[in-house]
Homo-oligomer: A and B are copies of this chain.
C-alpha cells in the first residue's frame, strides 16, 4: 500500500477552515479591555495611575524572549537532522501560529472570561506561547514521521487538552507551577510519547541514514539550543507575580541551567569510549536544568538548591540519551526522534518532585530552617500543598497519556498525508526543492531551471553513491 503525500487540497482546505474558524470565534469572543482597563496596573500603591504603569512595560520584554524560544528556539533545535530542516522550521512555524490563536481562545474561555468575552492583554500572549511550547515538545517525538495535516490536528487537540489540564491544576487544585514543569513539559512530553508509541513505524531503518545529523545541521541546531538556554530564565519567570517572585524565578533558572551544562559535558565525555563529546547531548541535556527548576522557580529554592537541580538534571538527561532512548525504541517501541523524554520527560518529573518537596517543607515564616522555606503565602497547610502538587503531577500524566492515545489513534488513519516509512525524515516529500530539478522534472516551478548540484545535497549524493 502506498500513502498519498500529495497535500494539494487537503492541507490548504484544513488551513483555511481553521483560520476562518479563528476569525469567527475571535469576532464573537475576543476584545480589548475597556478604557478603565485591566491593562493598567491596579496593584500599584498610592493610587497613582499613568500610562507608564501599563502591564505592557513589565511583561513585554519577557514575552518577546518566550516568543523567540517558541518560534525560533524549538524550530532550530529540530534542524539537527541532515535533510529535515525545512520541515522542522516550517511545520514548527505553522503549528505555533495556529496554536497561539487557538490557545488564546481556549485559555481565555477557561481562565480569562469576563461577561462571556475574553479580554486580551500581554499576559494572554505569554500564556498562549507557553501552551504552544508544550505542542513543540510533543512535535519533537514525532518529528520526521508526520505530515503537516497531522501536526495541525495534533495542535488543535493538544492545545484544547492542555488548557483543560492547566485549568484543573492551577485553578482547581491550586498547584504552583511557575515554569510549567508539569503543565508544559510533562504534559507535552508524555502526550507526544504516547502519540509516537501508537504511530509506531516498523521499517524506519530504511530512512536511518537521514536520522543522523551532518556538520552544518548541528550548527543550525545550536542556534536553537542557545536561544532556548539564554531565554529560559524569561520563560520560567514570565508568568510569576510582579517583583520578588519574578526576580527569584530568573535567578533560580540561571543557576540551574549553568550547572546542567557542566554535568552534561561530564556525562557525555565519560559515556564515550574515547571520551569524546556528542553534539546531541550538548544540544539537549544542557537545557534540562531549565525544565527541572520549572515548578519551583519562584519558590525559595535558594541558589544552591537550583544548582543541585541543574546538576542532577543535566546528568540524568545525558544518561537518558545514551541508555534510555535506545531501550525505549527497541523494547517499548517508542520512537522518540528528538529524545524529548530525556529533555522534557525526566527533568519534568524531577522538577515536579522538587516543587512538591519544596512546597511541603516550606513554612511561611521561614523558621523551618534554610532548607526550603516557602516563597508564597497560602492558606492551606504546606503539607497539603505538597500533596496537591503530587496529585497534580499524576493527574497530568493520566490526562496526557489518555489524550495521547486518542490522538494517536486518530492520526493513525491513513488519509492524513503521512509518508511511507522509507520516505520519512526527508524534506522533499513536502517541499519543492528547487535545486533537485532532475528528481522531479514535471513539477510546477516558478523559477527557471537550475542545474542540479549534487555535491550540496547530502541525501541525493547518498542515493547517487554506488
A446 on interface, CB distance cutoff 8 Å: yes
Q: How far is the CA of A173 from the CA of B85 in the complex (A)?
A: 47
Candidates B8, B121, B269, B448; contact of A8 at CB < 8 Å: B269
Chain A positions 37-63 with a Cβ under 8 Å from a chain B Cβ = 37, 39-41, 43-46, 48-58, 60-62
Tell me whether A275 and B6 are in contact (CB under 8 A): yes
Tell me whether B247 and A39 are in contact (CB under 8 A): yes
Residues of B contacting A308 with CB < 8 Å?
A: 23
Tell me whether B49 and A45 are in contact (CB under 8 A): yes
Residues of B contacting A269 with CB < 8 Å?
A: 7-8, 11-12, 15
Tell me whether B258 and A97 are in contact (CB under 8 A): yes
Chain A positions 148-185 with a Cβ under 8 Å from a chain B Cβ = 148
Question: Apart from A7-B276, A8-B275, what are 19 other A-B pairs with CB-CB below 8 Å?
Answer: A10-B275, A11-B270, A26-B255, A27-B302, A27-B304, A45-B48, A61-B64, A71-B226, A71-B230, A75-B222, A90-B282, A93-B261, A212-B434, A213-B434, A223-B223, A271-B444, A273-B443, A273-B444, A456-B461
Residues of B contacting A244 with CB < 8 Å?
A: 32, 35, 37, 39, 51, 54
Residues of B contacting A11 with CB < 8 Å?
A: 265-266, 269-270, 275
Question: Interface with B: A191-199, A203-211, A343-351, which one?
Answer: A203-211
Tell me whether A30 and B304 are in contact (CB under 8 A): yes
Residues of B contacting A453 with CB < 8 Å?
A: 214, 458, 461-462
A186 on interface, CB distance cutoff 8 Å: no
Closest to A58 in B: B57
Interface size on A, residues (CB 8 A): 162
A112 on interface, CB distance cutoff 8 Å: no
Tell me whether B247 and A122 are in contact (CB under 8 A): yes
Copies of this protein in the assembly total 3
- Given A205-B448, A215-B457; A44-B54 close (CB under 8 Å): no
A322 on interface, CB distance cutoff 8 Å: yes
Tell me whether A58 and B64 are in contact (CB under 8 A): no
Closest to A32 in B: B248
Tell me whether A51 and B272 are in contact (CB under 8 A): no
A390 on interface, CB distance cutoff 8 Å: no
> What are 15 of the A-B contact pairs (CB < 8 Å)?
A6-B274, A11-B275, A22-B259, A51-B244, A64-B230, A68-B230, A72-B226, A93-B229, A93-B282, A101-B255, A211-B448, A273-B444, A274-B440, A454-B455, A455-B455
Q: How far is the CA of A62 from the CA of B60 in the complex (A)?
A: 9
A447 on interface, CB distance cutoff 8 Å: yes
Give the interface centre of A48, A56, A122, A242 by most chain B CB atoms within 10 Å. A56
Binary flags per residue of A1-19, CB closer than 8 Å to B gives 1, else 0: 0000011111111011011
Residues of B contacting A433 with CB < 8 Å?
A: 215
A363 on interface, CB distance cutoff 8 Å: no
Tell me whether A461 and B455 are in contact (CB under 8 A): yes
Q: How far is the CA of A283 from the CA of B234 in the complex (A)?
A: 27
A442 on interface, CB distance cutoff 8 Å: yes
Residues of B contacting A57 with CB < 8 Å?
A: 57-58
A227 on interface, CB distance cutoff 8 Å: yes
Q: How far is the CA of A273 from the CA of B458 in the complex (A)?
A: 25
Residues of B contacting A15 with CB < 8 Å?
A: 262-263, 265-266, 269
A231 on interface, CB distance cutoff 8 Å: yes
A246 on interface, CB distance cutoff 8 Å: yes
- Shortest distance in angstroms between A55's beta carbon and chain B's nearest beta carbon? 8
A317 on interface, CB distance cutoff 8 Å: no
A352 on interface, CB distance cutoff 8 Å: no
Residues of B contacting A321 with CB < 8 Å?
A: 446
